[in-house]
Amino acid sequence: MSSVAILGATGTIGSVLARRLVRQGQHVLLVGRNEEKLRSLSEELGQPFVAVDLTSSQPLEEALRAMADAQGGFHALVNCIGSILLKPTHTTTDDEFRQVVETNLFTAFATVRVGAKLLRERGGVIVLFASSAAEIGIQNHEAIAAAKAGVIGLARSAAATYASNNIRVNVVSPGLIRTEMTRRIWENATNATASAQLHALGRLGEPEQVASLASWLLDGENDWITGQIIGIDGGLGHVLPRR
Ligand SMILES: NC(=O)c1ccc[n+]([C@@H]2O[C@H](COP(=O)([O-])OP(=O)(O)OC[C@H]3O[C@@H](n4cnc5c(N)ncnc54)[C@H](OP(=O)(O)O)[C@@H]3O)[C@@H](O)[C@H]2O)c1
């Protein structure tokens, strides 16, 4: 049986997705940067892990190729890596901007680059993560909006390039989800209420809901979907909240 490689498997959504896929009987390769966290998740799930420097795509390719035989190959790659930076442009430093782009856009590029090489012969699925912030202007989100808009462009073009190889490329685009990344926002009651009110449905999202969408996109039953940006955002990306 082939496997799903999850990049950023130690993050909130990455680990919830890994648990969900394992419950479904799928094989998962846990990929990340922190060996200690990876080992702990690996022991919990009984799935292998690989710690990789994700600042260039070569180590990722080498690691996945080395694992491919043991895993029966891969049929999917999911990039759950991401970060957040809430600042207006004029106070964002060059290094901060580069870091946001590296974490959010470069890792998506590396996922597609390596995924395209590994999946070209047999086809497969790539799932990337954007953000509602890339689809609607939200104050102080310039760096993350720019990086995630890059992910959307990358995914649409790659979907076109690799459709003839039967590789589907889709994007999950969340609103504000209760994860480690956003803890400082939702742990504060005032901020949580203000953030919930930006979403037409008036509440924040949960990691399980996002993992459910990602696993649905990975399911072979849904194999006529490519180049799509699917919001899971309580309406944030496209629906005005009631005033
Ligand atoms: N939560 C939200 O409200 C929200 C909204 C929109 C989009 N998203 C997107 O959803 C995806 C999952 O995010 P999450 O909410 O689950 O966040 P999370 O819990 O903070 O997980 C983020 C993951 O990214 C990894 N990571 C961060 N910087 C990295 C770097 N420079 N190199 C390699 N790995 C790095 C982290 O590794 P460690 O475990 O080693 O720290 C972790 O595995 C991300 O793409 C995020 O941008 C989330």
Residue 145 has pLDDT above 80, yes or no: yes
119 lies in some domain = yes
pLDDT at 2: 79
pLDDT at 119: 97
Q: Which residue has the higher pLDDT, 54 or 6?
A: 6
CB of 131 shorter than 6 A to ligand 1? yes
pLDDT at 17: 98
Residue 1 has pLDDT above 80, yes or no: no
| Residue 55 structural domain | 3-81+107-134+147-175+207-229
Q: Are strands 167-174 and 229-232 parallel, antiparallel or unpaired?
A: parallel
> Rounded distance, CA 116 to CA 139, Å?
35
Average pLDDT of the segment spanning 133-137: 97
Residue 191 has pLDDT above 90, yes or no: yes
Average pLDDT of the segment spanning 49-70: 94
185 lies in some domain = no
Q: Which residues of 58-89 are buried (b: 16+ CB within 10 A; e: fewer)?
A: ebbbebbeebbeebebbbbbbbbbbebbebee
CB of 174 shorter than 6 A to ligand 1? yes
pLDDT at 153: 98
Task: Kindly state the percentage of the chain with pLDDT values over 70.
Answer: 100
56 lies in some domain = yes
Token representation of residue 232: 């899971």
Q: What is the pLDDT of residues 71-104, one digit of tens each?
A: 889 999 999 999 999 999 999 999 999 999 999 9
68 lies in some domain = yes
DSSP string over 160-199: HHHGGGTEEEEEEEE-SB-SGGGHHHHTSHHHHHHHHHHS
Q: What is the pLDDT of residues 192-218, one digit of tens each?
A: 999 999 999 999 999 999 999 999 999
Average pLDDT, the chain: 97
Question: Cα dist. 90→97, 146, 173, 220, 227 in Å?
Answer: 11, 15, 26, 45, 33
Q: Which atom of ligand 1 is nearest to the CA of 128?
A: 45
- For residue 159, give the DSSP letter: H
Average pLDDT of the segment spanning 101-110: 98
pLDDT at 77: 98
Q: Which atom of ligand 1 is nearest to the CA of 180?
A: 19
Residue 243 has pLDDT above 90, yes or no: no
Helix, strand, coil % in the chain, rounded to nearest 5: 50, 15, 30
Q: Look-up: residue for tokens 């949960």?
A: 206
Residue 169 has pLDDT above 90, yes or no: yes
pLDDT at 100: 98
Average pLDDT of the segment spanning 32-55: 97
The band of 70, judged by pLDDT with boundaries at 50, 70 and 90, is confident
239 lies in some domain = no
CB of 47 shorter than 6 A to ligand 1? no
> How far, in Å, from the CA of 80 to the mean position of ligand 1?
6
Which CATH number characterizes residue 214's domain? 3.40.50.720
**Of the residues 6, 52, 80, which should be mutated to test ligand 1's pocket, given the most ligand atoms within 8 Å of the CB?**
80
Identify whether the C-beta of residue 49 lies closer than 8 Å to the C-beta of residue 41. Answer: yes
CB of 195 shorter than 6 A to ligand 1? no
The domain tally of the chain equals 1
> Rounded distance, CA 99 to CA 31, Å?
20
Q: At what angle do helices 142-162 and 107-119 cross, to 10 degrees?
A: 10
96 lies in some domain = no
183 lies in some domain = no
12 lies in some domain = yes
Q: What is the pLDDT of residues 20-37, one digit of tens each?
A: 999 999 999 999 999 999
Identify whether the C-beta of residue 169 lies closer than 8 Å to the C-beta of residue 176. Answer: no
> How far, in Å, from the CA of 38 to the mean position of ligand 1?
14
pLDDT at 71: 84
> Rounded distance, CA 222 to CA 236, Å?
25
